[in-house]
């Protein structure tokens, strides 16, 4: 799971990146040059794993990871929207954290977060429109040369162009945003977006003003404050969290929201002394989940021995849960649920 941090210049992208990678960001990549994006790999803490550890006493525990990508700064100073090169670097992302400034900047410019959001969103729409138009021209040219367009592509790209030309992001039209034939275009406005409103240290309020899209979740953070807290030793960090009424760290909140945004769930395996958390798209079938763990498990899939986390918790251990009939033998088509503990039976 790779989430790109985007936003207008000076909105707090680097600050958020540091707040996210501060405590648990163990594998921060060091860019070779200033034009390379920075990537922070962070561990997805999951309370359920603590109980699994108590019950199974594994030698090893492996948690899921999520990555955050910070593109290098756009050239030019405040006001400049992103250039094409910067956009191209975030195309690989599964979704975006769109940061908007909700504090008065050093030059005294008051915040207008809704408007800032719209500005960058328009930039993305224009970028996608250019991609669609270029592709249309190409297809038309090929047609003139006698080459038949492949499948539905012309119709689909034309439909995208119409949506974008009307000033709408592609995510408003899920048939297009999620169409497999359009995936290769990596349209920016087809990606899921979480708005991260970056408030001032003392400001706990929801942002006012207009310009907010009604289809997107907004997460209010205090970027600079949370960045400072992320660099503190645990005791001191806790003191600050209490003082500033921050119940959960920015990292936890952003991870939870990222899972919701990308519609991901977790399941667990207990294998040769290792308890491990896995992340898959919601709706994933048992066969697909087996494949996420090991290709042999998918190839030789027999059954998924499945126990829900809640059942394990109430029975206290696997044996009791089995006696109580809570352990199910599911087939390939079983839709994996968040928190399932699965033992794949397979034969290769």
Ligand X SMILES: Nc1nc2c(ncn2[C@@H]2O[C@H](COP(=O)(O)OP(=O)(O)OP(=O)(O)O)[C@@H](O)[C@H]2O)c(=O)[nH]1
Site for ligand X in 185-204 (CB under 6 A): 198-201
Among residues 1, 4, 15, 266, the one that binds ligand X under rule CB under 6 A: 15
65 binds ligand X (CB under 6 A): no
> Where does residue 115 fall: left (phi above 0), alpha (psi -120 to 50 degrees), or beta otherwise?
alpha
Strands 95-102 and 193-199: parallel
87 binds ligand X (CB under 6 A): no
Give the number of residues in contact with ligand X, rule: CB under 6 A. 17
22 binds ligand X (CB under 6 A): no
Q: Which two tokens stand for residue 165?
A: 């030309």
List strands edge to edge, sheet with 218-221: 38-43, 65-70, 2-7, 95-102, 193-199, 218-221
Only segment of 8-16, 190-198, 209-217, 221-229 that touches Mg ion (CB under 5 A): 8-16
The CA-based angle 333-46-220, given to 5 degrees, is 105
- Alpha-carbon distance 217 to 21, whole Å? 22
Among residues 2, 14, 305, 330, the one that binds Mg ion under rule CB under 5 A: 14
Contact 291, 284 (CB under 8 A): no
- What are the residues facing 97 on neighbouring strands? 5, 194
Only segment of 3-11, 90-98, 233-241, 292-300 that touches ligand X (CB under 6 A): 3-11
14 binds ligand X (CB under 6 A): yes
Among residues 3, 6, 7, 275, the one that binds ligand X under rule CB under 6 A: 7
Nearer to Mg ion, 13 or 264 (CB): 13
Contact 266, 64 (CB under 8 A): yes
Nearer to Mg ion, 16 or 290 (CB): 16
- Alpha-carbon distance 265 to 213, whole Å? 26
Determine how many CB atoms are found less than 10 A away from the CB of residue 65.
Answer: 15
228 binds ligand X (CB under 6 A): no
Give the number of residues in contact with Mg ion, rule: CB under 5 A. 2
Query: In angstroms, what is the minimal distance from the CB of 250 to ligand X?
Result: 11
Among residues 222, 250, 287, 334, the one that binds ligand X under rule CB under 6 A: 222
Q: Which two tokens stand for residue 71?
A: 């593109």
Site string for ligand X, 235-274 (x = CB under 6 A): ----------------------------------------
223 binds ligand X (CB under 6 A): yes
Nearer to ligand X, 108 or 233 (CB): 108
Site for ligand X in 116-155 (CB under 6 A): none
Which of these, 205, 187, 230, 25, lies nearest to 93 by C-alpha position?
Answer: 187
Q: Which long-range contacts (CB under 8 A, 24 or more apart) does 323-329 make?
A: 329/303, 329/304, 329/305
Query: In angstroms, what is the minimal distance from the CB of 153 to ligand X?
Result: 36
11 binds ligand X (CB under 6 A): yes
279 binds ligand X (CB under 6 A): no
Nearer to Mg ion, 6 or 297 (CB): 6
The answer for residues whose C-beta is within 8 angstroms of residue 54's C-beta and 6 or more apart is none
| DSSP annotation string for 47-58 | HHHHHHHHHH--
The CA-based angle 115-218-27, given to 5 degrees, is 110
Nearer to Mg ion, 13 or 98 (CB): 13
Q: What is the CA radius of gyration of the chain?
A: 23
Only segment of 112-120, 220-228, 255-263, 329-337 that touches ligand X (CB under 6 A): 220-228
Site for ligand X in 294-323 (CB under 6 A): none
224 binds ligand X (CB under 6 A): yes
Site for ligand X in 88-107 (CB under 6 A): 103
Q: Which two tokens stand for residue 113?
A: 């977060």
From first CA to last CA, the distance across the chain in angstroms is 30
* List of residues contacting ligand X (CB under 6 A): 7, 9-15, 73, 103, 198-201, 222-224
* List of residues contacting Mg ion (CB under 5 A): 13-14
């Amino acid at each position: 799971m790779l989430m790109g941090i985007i936003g207008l210049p000076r909105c707090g992208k680097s600050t958020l990146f540091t707040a996210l990678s501060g405590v648990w960001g163990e594998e921060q990549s060091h860019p070779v040059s200033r034009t390379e994006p920075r990537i922070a790999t962070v561990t997805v803490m999951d309370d359920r794993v603590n109980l699994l550890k108590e019950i199974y006493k594994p030698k090893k525990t492996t948690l899921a990871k999520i990555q955050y990508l910070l593109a290098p700064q756009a050239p030019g100073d405040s006001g400049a929207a992103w250039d094409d090169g910067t956009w191209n670097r975030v195309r690989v992302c599964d979704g975006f954290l769109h940061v908007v400034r909700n504090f008065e900047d050093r030059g005294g410019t008051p915040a207008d977060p809704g408007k800032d959001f719209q500005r960058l969103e328009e930039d993305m729409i224009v970028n996608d429109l250019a991609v669609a138009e270029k592709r249309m021209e190409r297809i038309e040219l090929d047609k003139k040369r006698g080459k038949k367009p492949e499948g539905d592509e012309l119709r689909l790209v034309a439909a995208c162009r119409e949506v974008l030309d009307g000033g709408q992001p592609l995510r408003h039209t899920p048939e297009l945003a999620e169409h497999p034939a359009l995936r290769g275009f990596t349209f920016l406005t087809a990606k899921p977006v979480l708005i991260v409103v970056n408030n001032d240290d003392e400001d706990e309020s929801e942002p006012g003003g207009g310009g907010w899209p009604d289809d997107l979740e907004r997460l209010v953070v205090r970027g600079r404050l949370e960045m400072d807290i992320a660099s503190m030793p645990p005791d001191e960090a806790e003191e600050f969290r209490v003082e500033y009424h921050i119940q959960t760290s920015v990292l936890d909140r952003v991870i939870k929201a990222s899972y919701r945004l990308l519609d991901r769930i977790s399941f667990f395996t207990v294998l040769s002394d290792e308890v491990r958390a896995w992340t898959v798209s919601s709706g994933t079938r048992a066969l697909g989940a087996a494949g996420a763990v090991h290709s042999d498990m998918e190839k030789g899939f027999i059954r998924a021995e499945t126990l829900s986390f809640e059942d394990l918790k109430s029975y206290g251990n696997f044996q009791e849960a089995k006696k109580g009939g809570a352990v199910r033998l599911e087939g390939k088509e079983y839709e994996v649920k968040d928190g399932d503990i699965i033992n794949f039976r397979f034969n290769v």
